[in-house]
């Protein structure tokens, strides 16, 4: 909208001057047109004629001129006052319109900003919902896989227990083979420990150069291999124990040792499973890499599972211990064996959580 500026006082002087000039010319014209009777002089210088001027008429005409001029000046002033009022009103209207447009623009900007922010929140929530659904799906699949593996192992143990009675004649040979396997297992374990320590040192040097996702994948792979190695060793020990258990009636002392070995092996296996369940629920954090924490977990057997009755920190990194305790609560139910002796060992168990 084009701004209309109010006229200044100097703009009124020109019309007033023109009006005054016109009135002055009008007075002169009236005086000039007055009816003055003048006689031509006679040739004789004896006769003198006077010009008669009616003063009343002159005053009347002068008053008319003054009235006309005053009326014209009043009209001109009224016109100028009207123009001034109109100009002021237009200026007020212009300012009001500018203020309305400014407020409208501000409101539109606020609404646009609010709409953008709302859309960002909606997109973020949708992304978070999809990620949560994906995590829940993966967790469900993982739990189902663990449950299937647990059931398969239970069936294998049951079958092995049934076959144990048919292996009485091979107990001596099996015992010798077991001793040799134990020696080989200890040597392999020592070698693996040295290799693991070297690998952990190399892993710590590699952490600064690789992304956190690769670190987690490598650690998960190593943990899986370790669990698979433990499972293979357990199966080997379990096969040897099955041979040994065949002669429990005649070799009670040897069988007692084998039984203890079996229980300890199962305790180690369940400890590894519990540790893996806890580690899988710890949220990724670069600070926790290379840290460890020792926990004491007490379980209450409820059939095939055990529920957590208490968890306490023994020692280790404070942040990792806090995350590990939270992960224990998230696991909730831990798988339990059917063997009462093994249950007695793992219902109050110490676990070391590495990250």
Euclidean distance between CA atoms 165 and 249, whole angstroms: 11
pLDDT score of 183:
84
Query: Residue 355's closest CA among 189, 200, 226, 202?
Result: 200
pLDDT score of 68:
92
- Strand 305-316 relative to strand 292-301, pairing: antiparallel
Please report, in tens digits, the pLDDT of each residue of the chain (355 residues total).
444 454 444 555 665 666 666 667 666 655 555 444 444 444 454 444 555 678 888 888 889 999 999 999 999 999 999 999 998 999 999 999 999 999 999 999 999 999 999 999 999 999 999 999 999 899 999 999 999 999 988 888 888 788 888 888 778 888 888 888 888 878 878 877 887 876 677 677 667 666 655 665 666 678 778 777 877 877 777 776 666 656 555 556 666 677 788 888 899 999 999 999 999 888 878 888 888 999 999 999 988 889 999 999 999 999 999 999 999 989 888 998 888 888 998 889 999 998 7
Count of positions (residues) in the chain: 355
Structure tokens at 109: 């900007």
The answer to whether 307 and 299 are in contact (CB under 8 A) is yes
Taken in order 290, 147, 327, 307, is the CA torsion positive or negative?
negative
Euclidean distance between CA atoms 262 and 236, whole angstroms: 11
Query: Residue 40's closest CA among 54, 52, 51, 32?
Result: 51
pLDDT score of 39:
45
Query: Residue 154's closest CA among 26, 22, 342?
Result: 342
Buried b (16+ CB within 10 A) or exposed e, 35-74: eeeeeeeeeeeeeeeeeeeeeeeeeebeeebeeebeeeee
Query: Residue 352's closest CA among 280, 294, 268?
Result: 294
Structure tokens at 345: 């060992």
Euclidean distance between CA atoms 11 and 85, whole angstroms: 15
Query: Residue 233's closest CA among 201, 212, 264?
Result: 264
pLDDT score of 325:
92
Structure tokens at 334: 């831990």
Instruction: Return the axis-axis angle of helices 318-331 and 252-279, rounded to nearest 10°.
Output: 100
**305-316 β-sheet, strand order:** 333-335, 305-316, 292-301, 348-354
pLDDT score of 156:
84
pLDDT score of 178:
86
φ/ψ (deg, to 5) at 295: -120, 150
């Amino acid at each position: 909208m084009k701004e209309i500026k109010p006229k200044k006082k100097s703009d009124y002087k020109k019309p007033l001057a023109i009006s005054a000039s016109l009135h002055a010319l009008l007075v002169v014209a009236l005086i000039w047109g007055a009816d003055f009777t003048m006689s031509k002089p006679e040739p004789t210088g004896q006769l003198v004629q006077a010009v008669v001027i009616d003063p009343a008429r002159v005053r009347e005409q002068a008053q008319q001129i003054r009235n006309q001029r005053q009326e014209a000046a009043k009209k001109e002033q009224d016109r100028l006052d009207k123009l001034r009022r109109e100009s002021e009103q237009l200026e007020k209207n212009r300012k009001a319109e500018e203020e309305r447009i400014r407020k409208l623009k501000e409101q539109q900007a606020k609404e646009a900003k609010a709409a953008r922010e709302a859309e960002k929140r909606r997109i973020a929530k949708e992304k978070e919902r999809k990620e949560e659904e994906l995590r829940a799906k993966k967790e469900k699949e993982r739990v189902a896989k663990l449950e299937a593996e647990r059931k398969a192992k239970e069936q294998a143990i049951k079958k092995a227990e049934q076959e144990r009675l048919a292996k009485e004649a091979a107990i001596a040979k099996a015992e010798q083979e077991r001793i040799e396997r134990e020696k080989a297992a200890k040597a392999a374990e020592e070698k693996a420990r040295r290799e693991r320590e070297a690998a952990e040192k190399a892993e710590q040097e590699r952490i600064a150069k690789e992304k956190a996702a690769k670190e987690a994948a490598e650690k998960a792979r190593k943990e899986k291999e370790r669990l698979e190695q433990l499972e293979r060793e357990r199966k080997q020990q379990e096969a040897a124990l099955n041979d040994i258990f065949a002669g429990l009636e005649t070799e009670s002392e040897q069988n007692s040792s084998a039984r203890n070995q079996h229980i300890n092996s199962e305790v180690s296996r369940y400890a590894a499973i519990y540790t893996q369940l806890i580690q899988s629920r710890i949220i990724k954090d670069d600070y926790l890499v290379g840290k460890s924490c020792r926990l004491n977990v007490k379980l209450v057997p409820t059939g095939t599972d055990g529920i957590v009755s208490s968890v306490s920190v023994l020692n280790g990194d404070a942040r990792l211990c806090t995350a590990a305790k939270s992960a224990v609560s998230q696991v909730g139910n831990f798988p339990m064996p059917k063997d009462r002796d093994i249950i007695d060992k793992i219902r109050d168990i110490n676990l070391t959580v590495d990250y």
